[in-house]
Structure 1
């Protein structure tokens, strides 16, 4: 508790720093960013080492007023182009004009990434492979949440875990959602209770990029980063557009709106404000099982980020987000008066969430930064007649010391996390059923040394955590990168991970039917070793090029915690594996740019997940064997038209059956979701877009929910041992169970939207 008090007191002491002054500027910097004879719209222009920057307008022109005298290094970057740096000197009240001519680079190798090492480096120079998802990529297939938008990234699969309430998680390289950590601006803000909702409600208009690390990241980020992490980077408010709006609707009568606005307060403070609103209130049952095909939702998320530039070049930031959602799914005649009862089955979830995220660079000669966050998450739910009410509070803070000594780039961090969790289940109750909230204290320290010699980089890291429940945890890491030529890179990453189970995150579907959660013993933390080999190559063919990105991955688990659906069809049994588990595979991404304005990208991942116990090899449920993604884009510049095609394909995965008599298929089929979109530019600020989603009209089989006509099992007969008896009404010995789910029930639908950007 003394450590927690120190963090809180120190955070309060930082608040007055927002009142420091700033020197007045006197020069003006202007120019144009172009590629050949064409201006590049909305390119990012800034002076390195300062908070001075802006976005170019729709024709590529930029202008920055009141720049302090001195010599700087200017940098310009834009999606699809190589970044360019130029030295610029300002001597007083003058206007300096600088032109930037950027070369095309659709591989985005020069984009800045921070997630792999917690330091800003170009993607090419990072010893840890980092995938980048840009707003431009997300716009190829507009979705109301990042969760759905990542469906077309190779190795990433959004998994729907509940066919009634449609909550889900993100799988990376075949590993389930609990192995993926979600961060916002580098801070672990989404975990535990919030995991199944973590990628919804973040306004797309405020996203600068999404960075994805596939592989071990526990050394820097701790628990829940065993299989990888997703870091959502929000826009720099200094460089964001003045106003953005993106509104669309679908044939299902789904309505989504993303709004963003920038506000300047004086000369030093800027604010970025965003709102995401999603509304779907039309029950649909096209498969005829009596249940809603798609969960009805009403969601509002408000985000506000403040940044202050200090006179010495330091930048402080503070962001808050409020999330409120009301969702329900169930039988078509359900309404709120049936909530929690046994007359009509419905799953109703009220969620309220508040987040605070901040960063402050201390006014020291050394680069020391304090990052902090706090979030509360409240859920009030009814799964049929099963109530689930839970509260979670997480406080996080860490100091980061960044120091370069010769060829060594050293990073030291002192993270501390406090987690409070309470619900109305036996998970937070004593033996006599007295309520006992769970409190976890997790102080730690990590050290990372990045050593550069020639075209080689060696990264060494180690982390120590003390979990107040599970004790000492040590996670080392080593990474090596070798550069060949200008853009060919070979990387090897090896690391250790650990993970503590959270039952709500692990098995949300346990609450959605008649299955009972059983914990056989006190669960020990999982431990794993992970290795990842990555090779990137650029092949130039005349005026076009082919980008190749290939990877091998392998993870070996001990103490792995797996849900057992097979031993008893009425239970989900948890226990530490008495054996080992393996996740391994290979992935390949190809990007090709033609000499004409056609771009094609394709990727595939082949993975194998299994566990061995008592000499028996078993494949876990809901883990795919193969997956593939593809995009095709063609720009018809004269007409102001862009055509986008996006597709994914997934291979068979084992599904949870209710015993040997269950008539449903044991494995899912190979299925594909494909979409097309046409975008028309109307001047420099407006765009209209529309298209068709799920062209093949794929939907899971109508019998995905077992016994949907008897959701409370009123007509199911049981013997003295609790086993289901075969009856004329129930010859296959089934109970109501919606956990047999692998894809959305939404079929083919059209969509139409409009975008507006004021730079």
Structure 2
């Protein structure tokens, strides 16, 4: 905590020193005004800011802007908008004068030159990044009718979402063939998404709170620490840049048109807005979300395959400029979600044959301070925290003892300085250095309960109490040598894990994680990249430990082997990226090869059921190691601003070097090929049509269900492959003066490509689930606002 206090003092000190800086009436100032267009059409709500300062403003709904009180002198002014290439222009500001500009932005319909921050913790163009960064923006979420973050991740190369439990809907994202805990989830670039939050987290987060999602594949531990072996998913929340409002709602019918089974409703309501002062000195954005989904039974056995969900989320982001070169931002959001799976939904949990239920109350807050120095150097300080309060029930056969309570607190704080040097060692360079402190405390207990046979109250027991302290320091430099960009970085992590319940003492580790990347511009259109990165995972409590698979016949618990060691990785990648931009057309083709060697990878050893049907999966080290390798392909085409086609395909293998459970080397639930495609056509300025498809290849899925003569032994099932197709049509028209309305309708999983061999009854295996997340679903929606 000493590191946290020191960093807070530093933030407050720099803030106080700069808070009164720019209100100097003696300085000469001028005004910049004008309009922003593209191909003869006005661009609404574009951002305009003066480089090297925090001075900025947004264009109005008609593309007009007026930026006052700009200090006199020569300035670089930057113009940007979603779906357009960023444009910079030098402007001379003279005292009392107004400079009028007419700006024409070039379209960037497939985001080739979109600004991203996840590759090296600095803002920069995707095309100029030494690592491949994929970005998912609100337009893609909207076209796919994604309600939560989890639904949109399938439309990124190398990523695949999967549901791991019929009862409660526990889900995870796999990146390049590696399961969920290998991917670091970031919120505004901060690693505060804990193992507990990760159990259902990607399905908890509504898309209307997200500005964009940035995905970096390959080892990210050198910049973001533990659990970034596969890569990072960085969720950027909405920033207030103009005065906007929107209200939308949709109603879906899950399982429609499937003979013999009922249709279940899925209702969503979203609200967004933002307010900024006239000259963008301060701003506020806010969002709200409500979802209510009924449970869905896919095979008529009375037990759900999709859980019920009742989610209410709200949040806000506030910023204030502290002078012309400083800015303070405050973020907050709260998520409340109740979900339940099993049967007998009209009864209390402990009166059901099977019930898995969680009630999440998540509070997240962060404070960030940015101060510019010299020309464009930047000092950043932050503190972020996420608190999770989770009540749970994982029980069968009317078990009153299955109620539990988990409390989790994650804290991340740090400082970072970005220095631009005309010559560092051998070339111009951008140097990023910083230090971070992270803390996590998790308490998990079984609640008190009344034994129905004796009517005696049985005291609850503490199941887990873990504390993790991690201190980190990192540094990275990027050198530019003509057409070559060299990036090299190193991160040091010192972690300490305390298992207070088992009193097993402190588990400590010191880890160095290097990374080096090369980007070569062979021509204006052709790029080659290669990289090496080292990563690690510490032996802590992971998300699957906090989820219990439950049936009438067995209950699965997870634990760590007492000799579990740290897992490390060496990741390599090489890619070719071809982009072609001419007038109104854009094309991109990417081929990326990846190879990851895992040393001491974690592997589950399956136990046998005890007399009460409890099975323990023990996480141990597969000392012979494992190898994950493959190829990602990406093709994006936009011959005009009215048509975009995006696609990706992955061919990969994931295997241990020595046989594991079932005498099998291959990773379970990891298909060797999967991909996606999406198309959007703006038939007119008002009418749009979107088509999408997700392909999932066959995979190995363990099965421990009643169909077997000896269920405790289990078998491996080779699953079917699936192609999930979606279609959506929307029509937008003006209302009043500055508002719009949109009506839309569509179908998810049009041909109902969905698992057809779910296990049945109270003794079913709830983990025997694979393929697309939902059956055929028809939905209708409406949206109002000045979007």
TM-score between both structures, scaled by the size of structure 1: 0.89
Larger deviation: 544-553 or 51-60? 51-60
Q: Which residue number in structure 1 is paired with residue 752 of structure 2?
A: 697
Answer with 552-561 or 657-666: which moved more: 657-666
Deviates more, 1:196-205 or 1:163-172: 196-205
1:521-557 C-alpha deviation (Å, 9 max, x unpaired): 3321111100111221024689644310110011110
Cα deviation, 1:55-105, whole Å, max 9, x if unaligned, reads: 434443334455444432222223333221122233244443211222233
Determine if contact 1:634/1:642 at 8 Å carries over to the other structure: yes
Q: 1:200 to 1:20 in 2, by over 3 A?
A: farther
In 2, the alpha carbon distance for the partners of 1:51 and 1:522 equals 52
Residues 654-669 of structure 1 mapped to structure 2, 5 A cutoff: 654-658=700-704, 661=709, 666-669=717-720
Measured after TM superposition, the shift of residue 676 of structure 1 is 0.6
Cα distance change, pair 244–502 in 1 and its aligned pair in 2 (3 A) = farther
Aligned 1:181-220 pairs, distance under 5 A: 181-220=184-223
- Return the offset for 1:163: 1.4
**Which residue among 53, 78, 81 is the counterpart of 1:78?**
81
Of 610-619 and 283-292, more deviation after overlay is shown by 610-619
Match of 1:752 in 2: 780
Shift in CA distance, 453/675, structure 1 to aligned 2, threshold 3 Å: same
**Distance change >3 Å, CA 284–CA 446, structure 1 → 2:** closer
Name whichever of 17-26 and 528-537 sits farther off: 17-26
Corresponding residue SS for 2:591: strand
The residue matched to 1:248 in structure 2 has which SS?
A: strand
- Tell whether the 8 Å contact from 2:184 to 2:228 is kept in structure 1 after alignment: yes
| Distance across 2 between alignment mates of 1:249 and 1:8 | 45
Aligned residue for 2:228, secondary structure, equals: coil
2:487 is aligned to 459
Tell me the CA shift for residue 494 of structure 1: 0.5
Note if 1:535 corresponds to 2:537.
no
Seen in structure 2, the aligned counterparts of structure 1 residues 284 and 161 have a Cα distance that, compared at 3 Å, is: closer
CA distance in 2, matches of 1:4, 1:347: 38
CA apart distance, 1:586: 0.2
Match of 2:730 in 1: 679
Cα 1:223/1:263, change in 2 over 3 Å: same
Which residue does 2:504 correspond to in 1?
none
Name the residue aligned to 1:6. 6
CA distance in 2 between counterparts of 1:750 and 1:94 reads: 57
Check if 1:649 corresponds to 2:695: yes
Displacement of 1:670 in angstroms is 0.7
Indicate the larger mover: 303-312 or 25-34: 25-34
Distance 1:150 1:92 in 2: 50
Given candidates 514, 518, 524, the residue that maps to 1:476 is: 514
**Residue in 2 that maps onto 1:714:** none
The corresponding residue for 2:526 is 488
Do 1:579 and 1:614's aligned partners in 2 also have CA atoms closer than 8 Å?
no
Q: Displacement of 1:132 after TM fit?
A: 1.1
Shift of the alpha carbon at 1:392?
Answer: 1.0
Distance 1:14-1:204 versus aligned 2 partners, 3 A rule = farther
How far apart, CA to CA, are the structure 1 residues paired with 2:124 and 2:410?
Answer: 30
Question: Which segments of 5 or more consecutive residues in structure 1 lack a partner in the other structure?
Answer: 427-431, 711-734
User: 1:144 Cα deviation (Å)?
Assistant: 1.6
Of 666, 672, 685, which residue of structure 2 is paired with 1:625?
Answer: 672
Q: Give 1:343 deviation, angstroms.
A: 4.5
Question: Which stretch shows the higher mean deviation, 18-27 or 688-697?
Answer: 18-27
* Residue matched to 2:416: 400
Q: Is the 8 A contact 1:201 1:276 kept in 2?
A: no
Task: Establish whether residue 113 from structure 1 lines up as the match of residue 116 from structure 2.
Answer: yes
Q: Distance in 1 between matches of 2:517 and 2:473?
A: 19
Give per-residue Cα distances to partners, 1:155-189, cap 9 Å, x unaligned.
11112121111121111111101111111211112
The answer to whether the 8 A contact 1:566-1:658 is kept is: no
Aligned 8 A contact 1:28 1:93 in 2 = yes
* SS of equivalent to 2:637: strand
| Corresponding residue of 1:312 | 324
Partner of 2:438: 417
Shift of 1:223: 0.5
TM-score (ref. length: structure 2): 0.86
Verify the 8 A CA contact 1:201 1:300 in the aligned structure 2: no
Shift of 1:194: 0.6
Contact 2:146 2:207 (C-alpha < 8 Å) held by counterparts: no
Change (3 A) 1:518 1:179: closer
| Secondary structure of residue in 2 paired with 1:321 | strand
Match of 1:134 in 2: 137
2:646 is the alignment partner of 1:601: yes
Distance 1:757 1:72 in 2: 35
2:478 to 450, 457, 465: 450
Matches within 5 A, 1:157-172: 157-172=160-175
How far apart in 1 are the matches of 2:639 and 2:124?
29
Map Cα deviations across residues 635-684 of structure 1 (whole Å, 9 max, x no partner): 1125x211110111000111012287569870221102111111111026
The SS at the match of 2:109 is coil
Deviation, 1:753, is: 1.5
- Counterpart of 2:358 in structure 1 is 349
Number of equivalenced pairs: 721
Preserved contact between residue 408 and residue 449 of structure 1 (Cα < 8 Å): yes
CA distance in 1, matches of 2:20, 2:202: 36
1:248 aligns to what? 250
Higher alpha-carbon deviation: 116-125 or 656-665: 656-665
* Aligned 1:16-165 pairs, distance under 5 A: 20=20, 22-23=22-23, 27-165=30-168
Q: State the alpha-carbon separation in 2 of the partners of residues 596 and 275 from structure 1.
A: 31
Distance 1:343 1:361, change over 3 A: closer
1:578 is paired with a residue whose SS is coil
Q: What is the CA RMSD across the aligned residues, in angstroms? A: 2.8
Matched, 1:338 2:383: no
Query: What does the per-residue CA deviation read over 1:23-60, in whole Å, with 9 as the maximum and x for residues that have no partner?
Result: 37964433222222222343333322333334434443
Deviation readout 1:584-637 (Å, 9 max, x if unpaired)? 100111112235833222211011011022697611211121111001111112
- 2-structure distance, mates of 1:18, 1:245: 38
- Distance in 1 (CA, whole Å) between partners of 2:214 and 2:591 is 18
Q: Deviations over 1:706-755 (max 9, x none)?
A: xx433xxxxxxxxxxxxxxxxxxxxxxxx542011123563212111122
Matched-pair contact (CA < 8 Å) for 1:18–1:316: no
1: CA distance, partners of 2:441 / 2:585: 54
Select between 489-498 and 50-59 the one with higher mean Cα deviation.
Answer: 50-59
CA deviation map 1:504-531 (0-9, x unaligned): 5135554434224354433211111001
Q: Tell me the distance in 2 between the aligned counterparts of 1:633 and 1:490.
A: 29
Q: Secondary structure at the match of 1:198?
A: helix
2:248, 2:782 within 8 Å by CA — same for their partners in 1?
A: yes
Does residue 741 of the first structure (1) align with residue 741 of the second (2)? no
